[in-house]
Amino acid sequence: MLRRNFLGATVALGGLGALAACAPGSDTGGGAETAPAADEVETDIASLGDLTLVVWDQEVRGAQNDAIEALIGSFQEKFPNVTIDRNAQSFDDLQQQTGLALSGNDVPDVLQVNNARGDMGTFVADGLLTDLTGYAETYGWADRFSPSVLSKMRYSSDGVTFGEGSLYGLAQTGEVCGIFYSQAKLDQLGLTPPATWEELFSLVDAAAEAGERPIMLGNLDQWPALHVFGPLQANFVDAQTIITLGMGNAGADWTSEDNLAALTQFGEWGASGALGESPNGLAYDDAWPMFTEGEGVLLIGGNWLGPDMEAVMGEDLHFMAPPPGADGKVATTGGTGIPFSIPAAAKNAAAAAAYIDFITSDDAMAMIAENGGMPVNRTAELAPESGVNKDIYEAFDAVTTEGTLLPYLDYATPSFAETAGATLQELIGGQTDAAGAAAALQEDYSAFTEGS
């Protein structure tokens, strides 16, 4: 699984506020003083003289590592005065080191920082990250990145509002939840890929009547249900409301009529067996292999499953974005790879910004695609000529350029992953109903938003 468990991963951060007050290079602990305006950004990196740029990242998997190593080589060719000192760690190891690194005396210049509230939000509030607004304007990042993608890396300066405000990171890759299907299975049942949610509901009913499991779901680990419910929710609830809920910002309500309708439909899928006889007893990593062997008609989940399933199913496997939602546009759950940020106390911020610009450039997107990753930009243009990745790239492009990339719902609060996972599992299993589920979700959401 490529999707990280974004929440609850950062520990022992309670003391960072005090540590930030004496962070090197800052009198106040805030990153604002170290963030230049657009007309102050130094882009002539050669004029900076010989320097070593310290980069911490977690791009350690095969394709990821190949891409970043190639980009580092190209960057050093372009700027021979810059030597990259790369510290590559696993995601978990980087998570454990980030808080102490940001508040210490030996701070990296570029650091991948998880964009969830417990990580990036906390570091922004403590003044440990640089506001990248001036760099974004100088390098034209808003021209390259869609607003819904950039929103996943924006916070207010106090870290309270997620999805709006200043930019604190930039990502290379993307993630999207959509619908996997076997063309042969649809042909066998006389069905076609759904163009509307009504057609999808009819497909589910037809598959059930034919004795098939309509939707493959392994929800023993609880979180997989969020990747099914999120796209479904967009059929009933407008995108902005889901963004407000998913980002954990005040102003929305899980007990609203439209959210109740979404939860009701999800509960009906559970009760009717549309998700299987016992999806809560099936592990995620057992479910998708069963799908590749012909069990189930649809699998609603993340793009990261594509390559492994394609290795079994070949050209029979397809992927599509969900049908247009309540706003009349495609909206579905997704996100970005872990963003690259600049610590507030970085010694070489100008070179760091140039590096981030370089590894997220149009040319970098092509290199990421060549190495098997899904670039966050130019995805349709760089899509393979065939195969499931072609479908995935085109779906992600459509969502991010014509629709809305909705946040993972577990972004919302530090405890929402556990709350939502348990609540949806109970809803599927019939231990609660839509009203009870909505109340439980609202209790967690309102406690956080009213407290913040």
391 falls within a domain: no
Number of domains in the chain: 2
263 falls within a domain: yes
Across the strands, what pairs with 176? 334
Q: Which helix (H) or strand (E) holds 341?
A: strand 340-341
For residue 247, what are the contacts with CB-CB under 8 A and spacing of at least 6?
161, 162, 163, 407, 411, 412
Are both 163 and 225 inside the same structural domain?
no
400 falls within a domain: no
CA distance 51 to 83: 6
The reported pLDDT for the residue numbered 20 is: 33
The reported pLDDT for the residue numbered 62 is: 75
Are both 117 and 203 inside the same structural domain?
no
Are both 180 and 326 inside the same structural domain?
yes
For residue 284, what are the contacts with CB-CB under 8 A and spacing of at least 6?
1, 218, 219, 220, 221, 224
Q: Per DSSP, which regions of 169-262 are E strands?
A: 174-182
CA distance 98 to 94: 6
Are both 324 and 347 inside the same structural domain?
no
CB 124 within 8 A of CB 38: no
CA distance 422 to 101: 34
Query: Strand, coil or helix: what is 406?
Result: strand
Q: What is the CATH number of the domain that holds 318?
A: 3.40.190.10
CA nearest neighbour of 409 among 241, 260, 274: 241
Query: Strand, coil or helix: what is 386?
Result: coil
Are both 34 and 109 inside the same structural domain?
yes
What does the angle CA 288 – CA 289 – CA 293 come to, to the nearest 5 degrees?
115
Backbone angles phi, psi at 408, to 5 degrees: -60, 130
Are both 167 and 119 inside the same structural domain?
yes
For residue 136, what are the contacts with CB-CB under 8 A and spacing of at least 6?
142, 167, 170
End-to-end Cα distance, the chain: 32
Across the strands, what pairs with 334? 176
The reported pLDDT for the residue numbered 275 is: 98
Are both 52 and 131 inside the same structural domain?
yes
For residue 78, what are the contacts with CB-CB under 8 A and spacing of at least 6?
358
CA distance 448 to 443: 9
Are both 324 and 341 inside the same structural domain?
no
Are both 144 and 195 inside the same structural domain?
no
Backbone angles phi, psi at 237, to 5 degrees: -120, 135
Q: Which helix (H) or strand (E) holds 446?
A: helix 434-451
Are both 153 and 122 inside the same structural domain?
yes
The reported pLDDT for the residue numbered 201 is: 98
Which residue segment(s) compose the domain that 40 sits in? Answer: 16-173+337-378
11 falls within a domain: no
Are both 183 and 113 inside the same structural domain?
no
Are both 192 and 279 inside the same structural domain?
yes
386 falls within a domain: no
Query: Strand, coil or helix: what is 172?
Result: coil
317 falls within a domain: yes
CB 115 within 8 A of CB 82: no
CA 7 and chain centroid, separation = 12
CA nearest neighbour of 153 among 131, 126, 134: 131
431 falls within a domain: yes
Across the strands, what pairs with 332? 405
State both tokens at 142: 């808003």
State both tokens at 91: 């995601």
DSSP 8-state code for residue 121: I
State the 10-residue block means of pLDDT for the chain, 452 residues long.
Answer: 38 36 34 68 95 94 85 96 95 86 91 90 94 96 93 94 95 96 96 98 98 97 96 98 96 98 98 97 96 97 92 97 97 94 96 98 93 89 94 95 93 91 98 98 96 70
388 falls within a domain: no
